[in-house]
Amino acid sequence: MKQADHASGDSTGAQPANRVAIVTGAARGIGLATARLMLADGTSVVMVDSDGDELSKATSGLNNVLPLNLDISDPEQVSNMVSESLAHFKQIDCLVNNAGIADFGPIEKTSFATWRRVMATNLDGVFLCSQAATGALKETRGCIVNIASISGLRASTLRTAYGTSKAAVIHLTQQQAAELGEFGIRSNCVAPGPVRTKLAMAVHTQDIIDAYHDAIPLNRYGSEEEIAQAIVFLCSDKASYITGQVLAADGGFESTGVGLPSLRL
């Protein structure tokens, strides 16, 4: 694991705020929006990402952050992530398992290498980070928020690897809630609808964008900040009696049983 060049703004050493969160995939998109919102609330944030350049750019000038350049699908790097976080901030209150990758393709053309690559980050990463942080979360009676997708709630074409990985994340959330509740640890899931991030724009053609607009009652993509608000709520004490839940932040997509464009008023 490489600790990115630029560490916490406090050169005298760690100055833990009241709460400390680890956010994976924090160099851009939904993860970066979540980190910013948490920082604005006074939470210190360990910002984790495998893209070192983006991470350095994203964390430049931020205070109360610890940037860690690592791959969440690697058990050893994940173990270091937790020890570095504790060495720097002394505690972990929230873990946001946000890092993810997308790859769309038909079943017959999804190679085993692609399947494994998607599972490694989207599912193994959530398992590894959560397991590694559990001891620290027991100390703080902290929480986990896993980021799934509407693709994990509803099946669709071309998402055999991505959709299956996200459905598994939803079930893993429920497993965590069932087993860790007795230690005061809550685990919840946010299932975002489409957001114009680098991940989505790499796999959403204009046809897909138009079809999403038709299928979503609010008739638009969401923003990174709108998803981050749902994540931060589930991390907060306002959600102190909520665990094992999936919150779809999706403009109403999931709730719409028969969302045919021709049935619009």
Ligand X SMILES: NC(=O)c1ccc[n+]([C@@H]2O[C@H](COP(=O)([O-])OP(=O)(O)OC[C@H]3O[C@@H](n4cnc5c(N)ncnc54)[C@H](O)[C@@H]3O)[C@@H](O)[C@H]2O)c1
Residues of the shown chain interacting with ligand X in the complex, contacts defined by CB under 6 A: 24-25, 27-31, 49-51, 54, 71-73, 98-102, 121, 125, 147, 149, 192, 194-195, 197-200
DSSP-derived 3-state class of residue 259: coil
CB-nearer residue toward ligand X: 8 or 151: 151
Q: Which tokens is 22 given?
A: 């680890």
- Return the active site residues: 162
Distance of CA 193 to CAs 5, 55, 81, 103, 212, Å?
Answer: 34, 24, 29, 16, 9
In whole angstroms, how close is the CB of 250 to ligand X at the nearest point? 8
- Lookup: tokens for 45: 């944030």
CA distance 22 to 144: 10
Distance in Å, CB of 265 to ligand X, minimum: 27
Supply the minimum distance, in Å, between the C-beta of residue 237 and ligand X.
24
**Least distance CB 182 / ligand X (angstroms):** 28
Q: Which long-range contacts (CB under 8 A, 24 or more apart) does 51-55 make?
A: 51/27, 52/2, 52/4, 54/27, 54/28, 55/4, 55/26, 55/27
Task: Judge residue 226's burial from the number of C-beta atoms within 10 Å of its C-beta, 0-12 exposed, 13-18 middle, 19 or more buried.
Answer: middle
Neighbour-count burial of 234, counting CB atoms closer than 10 A to its CB (0-12 exposed, 13-18 middle, 19+ buried) = buried
| Closest to ligand X by CB, 49 or 93 | 49
